[in-house]
Structure 1
């Protein structure tokens, strides 16, 4: 089995290191800069739960060097995908599956969706359909990322918590390709359940991200402060209820209620959201994938989302002012 991690940062590096350590998967990582150079020189180091391993991985600067794969795991930020889709083409053989480990509403969301919305583009994450043209949704396998990790230095991944990558075909089928991927991840030490309704899980994760991320970017507060402050928590809860109505109009079922989801987020503690980290580092922020897409889908199903619209306008303005949008 050949697996390529395209954009091997923290999460991609975590997955690549554990797959490579198992030894029966041919792992390639596409990376750049000092991180690439360190992996080429000394391998990929993973620090997790008090243990440290260093494994050799095939680390390359381009998809052309990597060649066709059985699976391509995409761990990029969503806004990077339209620009990267062309670069990924040499990785794609006739049967290559693209494992979409990207936050937010994915470009393939309405593939195998059925009904009136079948095949609809989500412009917020797939402007003009460029991603759909270059990465056909028929190749996509959904993947919800639950671990937390960071690149502490070039070539070194610090794994903080979590070991689950939930998988799902857009069609809900249990195909041979998703079964084989799940088995490889489980053999590497991850939990990799296959869910028939992957969109339900997409929304449960997005439910928190769509609210906590932009609020934290606006207030520069860590997650515990956002949830502990009555005002910020109230805004987040209002956004989440609006998002829930949108999702339910699209057939999503939530297994937990909004307050339990907020309580779960509170357990993470004094965490800087990814959007706040990007703002502080002057990097593009995942505004459209995490919130712009929700507002777009709200228009589609004719659900008013006034709180989401207000926060979206404000966080876009904040990002523009910081050169991050």
Structure 2
């Protein structure tokens, strides 16, 4: 099976090394100094005191790679629409697209059922281009739980975690999702197949919708946000709004809000991805993590006053920094 990791940054690079070391036929799409370093010296993964280096095909011209069995998208969600045209040469009649991205994937309402079947989300898929040009039927969900960092061009550091749950929109255990799970597990990763992948999407989104923007506004780490009474209460209010929306779509939350916040507190002095982007001058992932929940609230008629307020503030913060 041919696998292309589209966006071989920190998470994509981690996947690339693990897959390459397991013997998978993997190629990487990247750009800039990171790509140049991988082409010249290979891709280095640091896990604790161990170094793993692989020489793997890396390019900024996806058309060189041919049709793939799996495209694992590891781009920031707001970057996907701009990559559609470059991605098309990788697509064949059997190609599956694995959305290893934060937030809600473009195919979310494919085989969803009820009155929301076939709906698209403007905040994450402007003009429904991903839905229409990539195709929702290609999508396979993938939740990214590991934390990794791009330490320098061609160098990825693994911080913690190895779990990538996967699942079909329909909840079926298809041959494709079984092959994907086996591929990832052969690479030393945990990839359980979930029959309710949307529940897991929301469980991660539940924390992202509040902790990311609050951290970008306050510059506080997770332990501080979840311990300070004011920011903890704000996070809880945002999460309860999000939970009401998710449950309208049939989502089941397997932990309660207090336990979810406590889990974030126990992560410790961790900077969220949105805060890291702000500090490093990179576009902030606001629409896929926050605006999309507001949009889904509008779809369901559920008011989101706490989310609206924080979203307005973090968008203004990003605009002032030139990162939105």
Normalised to the residue count of structure 1, the TM-score between the two structures is: 0.98
Aligned residue in 2 for 1:4:
4
1:13 maps to 13
Structure 2 Cα separation of the partners of residues 47 and 244 of structure 1: 37
Query: Is the CA contact (8 Å cut-off) linking 2:224 and 2:265 kept in structure 1?
Result: no
Shift of 1:55: 1.1
Distance in 2, Cα, partners of 1:30 & 1:195: 28
- Hey, what does 1:249 align to over in structure 2? 248
Distance in 1, matches of 2:22 and 2:86, equals 28
Partner of 2:209 in structure 1?
210
Aligned positions of 1:121-140 closer than 5 A? 121-140=120-139
Looking at structure 1, the residues matched to 151 and 90 of structure 2 have their Cα atoms a distance apart, in angstroms, of 28
Q: Equivalent residue for 2:42?
A: 43
Once residues 34 and 290 of structure 1 are traced to their aligned partners in structure 2, the CA distance between those partners, rounded to angstroms, is 28
| Aligned counterparts of 2:88 and 2:300: Cα–Cα separation in 1 | 34
Following superposition of structure 1 onto structure 2, how do residues 162-173 of structure 1 map, counting pairs within 5 Å?
A: 162-173=161-172
- C-alpha distance in structure 1 between counterparts of 2:283 and 2:98, whole Å: 23
SS in 2 for 1:174: coil
- Report the secondary structure of 1:88's partner residue: helix
Instruction: Give the corresponding residue for 1:267.
Output: 266
Secondary structure, aligned partner of 1:177: helix
- Residue 122 of structure 2 aligns to a residue whose secondary structure is coil
Q: Deviations over 1:43-73 (max 9, x none)?
A: 1111113211111111111111122110000
Residue 113 of structure 1 corresponds to which residue in structure 2? 112
- Find the counterpart in structure 2 of residue 147 from structure 1: 146
Report the secondary structure of 2:95's partner residue: strand
Corresponding position of 1:73 = 72
- Does residue 307 (structure 1) correspond to residue 306 (structure 2)? The answer is yes
Q: TM-score, normalised by structure 2?
A: 0.98
Q: Distance in 1 between matches of 2:124 and 2:108?
A: 10
Quote the residue 1:180 is aligned against.
Answer: 179
**Partners in 2 of 1:62 and 1:103 — Cα distance?**
24
SS in structure 2 at match of 1:45: strand
Structure 2 counterparts to residues 313-324 of structure 1, below 5 A:
313-324=312-323
User: Partners in 2 of 1:316 and 1:31 — Cα distance?
Assistant: 28
Deviates more, 1:60-69 or 1:176-185: 60-69
Cα distance in 2 for partners of 1:121, 1:293 equals 11
| Distance (whole Å) between structure 2 residues aligned to residue 219 and residue 109 of structure 1 | 31
Q: Distance in 1 between matches of 2:32 and 2:244?
A: 43
Whole-Å Cα distance in 2 between the matches of residues 225 and 4 of structure 1? 38
Measure, in 1, the Cα distance between the counterparts of 2:289 and 2:46: 29
Aligned to 1:86: 85
- Any idea what the Cα deviations from partners look like across 1:135-186, whole Å, max 9, x if unmatched? 1010000000000001111111100100000001001110101100100110
Q: C-alpha offsets along residues 175-209 of structure 1, whole Å, 9 cap, x if unaligned?
A: 10110010011011000000000000000000000
Structure 2 unmatched ranges of 5 or more:
none
Q: How many residues align?
A: 324
**CA-based RMSD:** 0.8
The answer for the alignment partner of 2:276 in structure 1 is 277
Q: Distance in 1 between matches of 2:220 and 2:63?
A: 42
Deviation of the 1:117 alpha carbon: 0.8
Regions of 4+ moved over 4 Å: none
